Structure 1
């Protein structure tokens, strides 16, 4: 009976300790379920001269966490990133051009002391990170579509009779041919950041997102001067979908957070 009492007493003490103990690590999270957000869009339609367009969108999300002296913060950033690129070239008679479309999304994480709180602002290692990026380039030299031809010139003493040879440039009806390439992707991406040896205080942990879109057309002017006809179009869009930012207060082992090169 006495042994049973001791067992019950110890069990009760353990239950009391577990009920009153705080978590091993403090944790905060914030998320968005909007789709899409931070949309960057550019369009070049039917350009016959060199053209370049760029668009940029920015936004942020934050979480708040109290940090004791000399603790580390482990921060994870996850986001859906969508990129749409569409390029096309239309021309004839040797017209030559390039159509380029690209997009991407990046993030940087930093900590800012809450108003009136102690602490020092800091950027999380390893700094800005590209979550996703893609550049699509379409290059083409187009001869066109021959609709009909008639041998009308080149023969006879005056050169005004058929000579049995077709000159495409002068004796054929040629219409434009067109080629295009379009890609659309949506994928989830994740990266971990760390803020080492933080000063004591309450911090806003900010994940600052950037999306960018670029469209470019490069016309080969020599091909145009030699009789070619060409025009090019480019469209690009980059955006964010759902995002999640998690922050955890941890204690790294001594020398556990280092900036090291990859050994080949």
Structure 2
């Protein structure tokens, strides 16, 4: 696709933000209660494809006449949860990493549109610490009368782990405009897909981490527009 057409269509997208008169036709769908199923739940229900993506919204658009371009707006509330815990004693270093990512893509009539896969939300959380530990001591040595002598030696102490944990749970709304070019006349199906990935990395046995993500309310809106076909 030449640069002139991409620039002209991007300008039209900007115009659509303030007025609808530039759009010839439109279609939309939404989920109002956060019921989109994806990630591990979708895999268990056998709803996810082999690449991990699950369809979360879909709509249809009918057009006629000369080929048109489509601006496809996809918006969702996204929630990321990450937890890392480290334990250490004696000055040793412990670290843990948790990350979670939500990716989206859109298809028109089975063909993925530009710019392909988009990261809607991502977090990588790393926690590390070098801790001294906690001394748990008991005076076990007694004097001649059977009374503890009041002197505690190191061999009468146990060094136990200190622990630090960090939990982040955030929700935000994100939006992205996808572009489809030269869509012919007829009825067209627009599908939005989402994928959750996570990778918990435990660096030391004394550390652990977990991560998850979810989708909330979402909308899928499609505008049919006239893009420039100039060639340079």
TM-score by length of 2: 0.72
Report the counterpart of residue 198 of structure 1 in structure 2: 183
Q: Which residue of 1 aligns with 2:192?
A: 207
Cα separation, 1, equivalents of 2:168 and 2:211:
10
Q: Are residues 40 and 213 of structure 1, via their aligned partners in 2, closer, same or farther at CA, if it must alter by over 3 Å?
A: farther
Residues 115-194 of structure 1 mapped to structure 2, 5 A cutoff = 121-148=110-137, 170=155, 172-194=157-179
**Match of 2:47?**
none
Query: What is the aligned-residue RMSD (CA, Å)?
Result: 2.9
Tell me the SS of whatever aligns to 1:83. strand
Q: Deviations over 1:154-173 (max 9, x none)?
A: xxxxxxxxxx9x75xx4532
Shift of the 242–125 alpha-carbon distance from structure 1 to 2, 3 Å rule, reads same
1:89 to 86, 92, 112: 86
Supply the distance in 1 between the matched residues of 2:84 and 2:23 (Cα, whole angstroms): 53
2:209 corresponds to 1:234: yes
Q: Distance in 2 between matches of 1:198 and 1:57?
A: 24
Going from structure 1 to structure 2, the CA distance change for 1:94 and 1:32 (only over 3 Å counts) comes to: same
| CA distance in 2 between partners of 1:39 and 1:144 (Å) | 42
Give the total of aligned pairs: 190
Supply the distance in 2 between the matched residues of 1:29 and 1:191 (Cα, whole angstroms): 15
Q: TM-score, normalised by structure 1?
A: 0.64
Query: Which entry has the higher C-alpha Rg, 1 or 2?
Result: 1
Q: How far apart are residue 37 of structure 1 and its match?
A: 3.9
**Structure 2: 5+ residue stretches without partners:** 1-21, 41-51, 142-150
Which of 38, 54, 67 in structure 2 is aligned with 1:58?
A: 54
Q: Which stretches in structure 1 are left out of the alignment for 5+ residues?
A: 1-22, 42-55, 113-120, 153-163, 220-229, 259-264
Shift of 1:94: 3.5
CA distance in 2, matches of 1:36, 1:78: 14
